[in-house]
Structure 1
């Protein structure tokens, strides 16, 4: 039974000749596909043609992946300067979500300005899609046996009532580790549900506040989960980059939320969507 489980959790899903297809890529692609479908459906309800979502993703997706990789490589430069051929090896992991989010938001800003679309509304439409994609994507880390926490014991993991296949795959080189990938996946899944519920409440969230809700929720959880990880990107070898950025984003989102409420009290509510034009 153990051999069957370990075989099923091989990071390589299948091979085509000499080309290996990794579960990491399949899982990430699945999350992205679901995100696009959800965003297209929601955009139509908010008076925005779903074709814009597809066009936007054709730009935002590759740029986000590049941004996520560059962010990761930048903070691991001491390794990659000696192994430059591995910079493009994203199938082995090494995509920093914050780098992808920054690059993606910048792309959406440029896209919406060129197309004359409401920037904040487009971010609001994308927010739940992004967080559910993150929840799914963390399972790619699981298949690569990365993004885990400190050493623990099998009895501790069993005490969490986790499925056996998760416990078995958290044993790396004979040592069991905290499944921080799972903690973040569940946190994101809960955030996804919460954001969907809040987004549908009438006269509650104005445009721009759905994305703020996502940032606040994700940054809060990521701060604590990041503190449990053993593979964090570090700044000057003393500070976890993602924890610092989580604080900045958490405080910044709350501050900008209150600022926009006071400065622009007539902003449209999210459910009003884009102005209908003929």
Structure 2
């Protein structure tokens, strides 16, 4: 069995200033988003609509706000509503951790809607530009989870060549390195599929719908190997909270993709 290396969470320290690996993965995610967003803006569909590099940077700002606010509120509402109801001031204690991707996604969708309204651009055009740029950021975040030795996987067959012991879990048992599964599935693979899919001529909303569908499916699969939250465990039908939250994503993504392919997706202004 492999053993998690237990990396030092601090990548670089100069005097009192400490730079954490997790912070670096976020910086990498933001940088990759800008690079990919600019490449998207040069594609015929978006170039014809007059997209400029500066707009991509503004879009990143809106997206970051959506991730932070939505991610925190999602964690509060989806994972620990009773705890935060009893301790409302802890909602603002973001330094203690606690973010939810599905909440962050809702926050980003709202931020894109606000951006589209302010810039006078069709919402689906903005969403289609952003969608292929997101998975690399997710990949960077999962790499940060692995470096930190958090969000480890469920128990695995010790004979599995890549089974790994995470001492941080408090149990010396072989586990699935589920962070790396998510890195590969909802990060690298989803990026490759969406980037190739978005190269061709697509109707408004098709790429955004493909993202929702693809992420929901890949996250649902990865959740089967990820240790569920200790305070929740497995819920109805033996599914984790993450899997239950993926189901509406898959359904909504399939609906948007199907309507967009038929040219029946209602415009959002």
Q: TM-score range with shorter-chain normalisation?
A: 0.7 to 0.9
Match of 1:20? 18
Task: Give the superposition deviation at 1:59.
Answer: 2.2
When residues 265 and 110 of structure 1 are mapped into structure 2, their CA distance, relative to the original with a 3 A threshold, is closer
When residues 265 and 152 of structure 1 are mapped into structure 2, their CA distance, relative to the original with a 3 A threshold, is closer
Deviations 1:195-214 (A, max 9, x none): 11121134xx3121111111
Q: TM-score, normalised by structure 1?
A: 0.78
Q: Distance in 2 between matches of 1:266 and 1:212?
A: 13
**How many residues are treated as equivalent by the alignment?**
252
1:149 to 134, 146, 153: 153
Match of 2:93? 87
1:149 counterpart SS class:
coil
Deviations 1:177-232 (A, max 9, x none): 21111111111211111111121134xx3121111111111100111211322234
1:138 to 122, 130, 142: 142
Task: Give the superposition deviation at 1:246.
Answer: 1.1
Task: Give the superposition deviation at 1:142.
Answer: 0.6
Task: Give the superposition deviation at 1:26.
Answer: 1.2
Q: TM-score, normalised by structure 2?
A: 0.81
> Structure 2 unaligned runs (5+)?
none
When residues 153 and 28 of structure 1 are mapped into structure 2, their CA distance, relative to the original with a 3 A threshold, is farther
Deviations 1:24-75 (A, max 9, x none): 1211221121112211221133221121111122222123122112212332
Match of 2:75? 72
Task: Give the superposition deviation at 1:100.
Answer: 1.1
Contact 1:183-1:225 at 8 Å conserved across structures: yes
> Structure 1 unaligned runs (5+)?
268-278
When residues 233 and 35 of structure 1 are mapped into structure 2, their CA distance, relative to the original with a 3 A threshold, is farther
When residues 233 and 253 of structure 1 are mapped into structure 2, their CA distance, relative to the original with a 3 A threshold, is farther
Match of 1:197? 196
Q: Distance in 2 between matches of 1:250 and 1:193?
A: 19
Task: Give the superposition deviation at 1:260.
Answer: 3.6
Q: Distance in 1 between matches of 2:265 and 2:216?
A: 26
Q: Distance in 2 between matches of 1:233 and 1:142?
A: 18
